[in-house]
Structure 1
């Protein structure tokens, strides 16, 4: 349970490391991460990760939940900000002080979110890029935006995430569409209309990455998209593929390419995009 609001944040500061601050920011931005995702991004040893997560929970900085697994047992722990974590992030970003009640409601909403599986899938895509960058010094995940941040910045689209991925001196921007396999493919294709609108307004011409649930679904999507005209570059891969590798199949091509090898155009200034400063895109 979250610690009382009466506990001073200043008394917790000596216990917060730079890695802890990174984790708090990740959870502030992306709501929920599993133990495995936190381990792969921030720790070397799984046991060290588990111990630290428990310590941060005891401090009230984190909270956690998990569900029963079909067939018996439990799913992994899902981690989110605890009350003190909400307070810390609010102070860091000059937001209003949260109450214990609002912090508790935040955890309840996230744990009961009917789209939790989809959220964790979208987060997993960026977790894998983060892990790849840890293992390859020339690679960097320069930006990881959630669906909420992406919609706020670009407005006309509702992507599941947006990123900037760099390898050496090459940088590609992209929009993520994480597919659970539950939507009709016609509805999936219709999402491209909003990206077309963004490009017509002078926005970035980033590839839209459809991360699909199966090879069969990927093949059917390419059949639907084949021969269609449009300005939106599209590439596909499946969930079992590592997104940084040569797994992306651009629509209309026959060979798979690396993420860093996809075409990317930052576009021209648009009136409501704060990332453009005097006509220059600021990543």
Structure 2
């Protein structure tokens, strides 16, 4: 039985672990994660993950939906914040408490959003990077910003996501453009103009990663990327983004993220990488890598 809508948050606090708090923040930042994605990010055993998600759902902290697959069966559960999860996050960040109706409407809009597959694919890119850090302590996903956060922080661009990938040798910022084949390739390539204006206006000079759904689009996109001042690289959805899978525009060999040129930019008012004269590459809305199993 689900926790009543009027349940006191104080009564729920003893049931909420550090890992639960992390999950609630991830869902607040990135709207929706599937069961396999949450398992990859936060759990060792799949059964443990499924059982805990069921418990959090019963408590009203998270909600879920899924759709049938075209060929039969069902997609994995898609998880988002439940009413008590929204209440908890509002309390944690000093925001007004949401109504049950507002929470319900938000979940309905998310489940019916025509860009849901795009959002899920974008999150999957970062989940794969984060998964690599759990087995390779030398590498970190120092920052994982959603489209909403990145758009608020970087003026004039609207990436699908933004991250910073840190290795022992370098710290590489990047903007992600997750392509599902819904736009013309000319329109995809034209997005580089906004990133060029950002860099020229005092922002960071990060490579733009085009993550594409099939090799054909990757092949035909490359001629359109050549000649742009912004560094860009491409790879496919079937690749491991932490590996040597990125083909730079005008290049012939695929490289690691850390091999792409990247500059965090100067200290100025338009560059969110700096706070009070100090370079801050973590800040808020960050991905904290090795959560306990």
TM-score normalised to structure 1 length: 0.96
Matches within 5 A, 1:69-80: 69-80=69-80
In structure 1, the partner of 2:107 is: 107
1:221 equivalent in alignment to 2:221: yes
Match in the other structure for 1:239: 237
User: Deviation at 1:267?
Assistant: 1.4
Q: What is the alpha-carbon distance in structure 2 between the residues aligned to residue 2 and residue 83 of structure 1?
A: 11
Write the distance in 1 (CA, Å) between the matches of 2:194 and 2:2: 41
CA distance in 2 between partners of 1:5 and 1:176 (Å): 38
Per-residue deviation, 1:253: 1.1
Contact 1:5 1:99 in 2 (8 A): no
Q: What residue in structure 2 maps to residue 257 of structure 1?
A: 255
Q: Deviations over 1:202-224 (max 9, x none)?
A: 11000000001111111111122
Corresponding residue for residue 157 of structure 1? 157
Equivalence for 1:26 = 26
Q: Distance in 1 between matches of 2:182 and 2:221?
A: 14
Query: Is the 2:118–2:178 Cα contact (8 Å) retained in structure 1?
Result: yes
The answer to whether the Cα contact below 8 Å between 2:264 and 2:273 also exists between their aligned partners in 1 is no
Q: Is the 8 A contact 2:202 2:271 kept in 1?
A: no
State the distance in 1 between where 2:156 and 2:2 align. Answer: 38
SS of the aligned residue for 2:102 comes to: helix
Distance in structure 1 (CA, Å) of the matches to 2:273 and 2:223: 35
Structure 1 stretches of 5 or more lacking a match?
none
- In structure 1, what is the equivalent of residue 289 of structure 2? none
- SS at 1:95 equivalent: coil
Equivalent residue runs for 1:14-93 within 5 Å? 14-93=14-93
Which residue of structure 2 aligns with residue 281 of structure 1? 279
Contact persistence 1:244–1:260 (CA under 8 A):
no
Q: Summarize the Cα distance change of 1:279–1:252 in structure 2 as closer, same or farther, 3 Å threshold.
A: farther
Matched, 1:268 2:243: no
Q: Deviation of residue 268 (structure 1)?
A: 1.8
What is residue 291 of structure 2 aligned with on the other side?
A: none
**SS of residue in 1 equivalent to 2:175:** strand
Bigger RCO (CA 8 Å, 6+ sep): 2
Give distance in 1, aligned partners of 2:74 and 2:231: 41
Mapped to 1, the partners of 2:165 and 2:239 lie a distance apart of: 17
Q: Deviations over 1:179-228 (max 9, x none)?
A: 001211000011111001101101100000000111111111112223x2
Aligned length: 281
Select between 37-46 and 264-273 the one with higher mean Cα deviation. Answer: 264-273
* CA drift at 1:275: 3.3
TM-score by length of 2: 0.93
Q: Give the Cα separation in 2 of the matches to 1:265 and 1:274.
A: 13
- 1:13-48 deviation per Cα after TM superposition (whole angstroms, max 9, x unaligned): 111111111110100000000000001111111111
RMSD (Å) for aligned C-alpha atoms: 1.4
